[in-house]
Structures are given as structure tokens and as C-alpha cells.
Amino acid sequence: MHRPNILQVVFFTVFFSIGAAAVAMSVLSDDLMQYYRSRQLLVRGEKVLSRLESLNSDYDALLKQLESDPALAKRLAPATLGTAYADPNAVYPRARAAELAAARKALLKETTVELKKQEVPDWLVRCTEPRKKIALFAAGAGLIVISLVCFNSTKQDGLQKESGR
């Protein structure tokens, strides 16, 4: 291969690869967006499942304690059911609405921070906009056409090589 042919091959490869990637990105951007959203839903579902599993294990431990200690049910019933306390000498602390709201807010904040890490990339959001998708497709198709027209070997080069023998 001659030196110009090597440059021709390099330019053809670069332009064609970038053009094909741009066309593929414009065509597949909706599918990629759906993939990222499905993945985010899967992560959220796994977190909910692990939380439910931990609650189940906590309730199983509580049921075992209730079976072994019947007096525990008498102590837990007023707090869980909201009835009056049976023992007048015992002090039962009550949670205020503000304290419960603060605890709930802290728990929700932790879960939202974890979910934000799995968001859809910004470049993909931009690629799915209709005008930008059309522009990306047109630019990619233009690069493919340029690479095929400008960096393709011509028939004259082949004829000159044959006559030079």
C-alpha cells in the first residue's frame, strides 16, 4: 500500500465509524432510555424487597418473643393498638407528631439519595429529544456519505496500477 492509500483508509475508517455510531445512537436512543428506566425500577424494587425482608425477619423475631413471653403482649398492646395503658405505675413515652415526621423525612431522604445515583445520563436525555435525534441522524448519515464518496478508492487508481505493470 502506498502512503496516500493508508491515509485514505484511516480517514474512511474514522469518518465511517463516527457516522455509524451517530446513526445508531439516534435510532437506539429510545431503547437505551427504556433500558435505564427499567434498570432504575429494578434497583428500586430490589431495595423495597430487601426492606420487606428485613421487616419480615423483625416480625418473626417479635413473634418468637411473644410466644416465649406472654406478658410482652400486654405491654405492647397499648402502644400498638392505641388503647389505654393497663399498668398505672408504668411510664409509657409517647412519640409526638413532629418527632415522627422528622424520622419519616430522614428515612425518605436516604432512599431518594440512593435513587438519584441511578438516574439516566444527561447526554442520553438530550439525544432523545426529537430535533436533536433528527440532527444526529442527519450528521451521521452525512459522515457516512462523505466517507464513501471522498475516501473510497477510485477506478482510475486501479487502471493506473494495471497499466504501470
Q: Are 9 and 157 in contact (CB under 8 A)?
A: no
The pLDDT of residue 30 is 92
Determine the length of the chain: 165
**Percent of the chain residues past pLDDT 90, beyond the cut:** 33
Distance CA 5, CA 149 (A): 15
- Beta-carbon contacts of 112 under 8 Å, excluding residues fewer than 6 positions away, are none
What is the tens place of the pLDDT at every residue in 133-158? 999 999 999 999 999 998 876 655 55
pTM of the shown model: 0.57
The pLDDT of residue 35 is 93
Distance CA 138, CA 156 (A): 30
What is the tens place of the pLDDT at every residue in 59-90? 898 888 888 887 777 777 766 766 666 667 76
Query: What would the DSSP string read from start to end of the chain?
Result: --HHHHHHHHHHHHHHHHHHHHHHHHHHHHHHHHHHHHHHHHHHHHHHHHHHHHHHHHHHHHHHHHHH-THHHHHHHHHHH----S-TTS------HHHHHHHHHHHHHHHHHHHHTTPPPHHHHHHTSHHHHHHHHHHHHHHHHHHHHHSSPPHHHHHHHHHT-
The pLDDT of residue 143 is 94
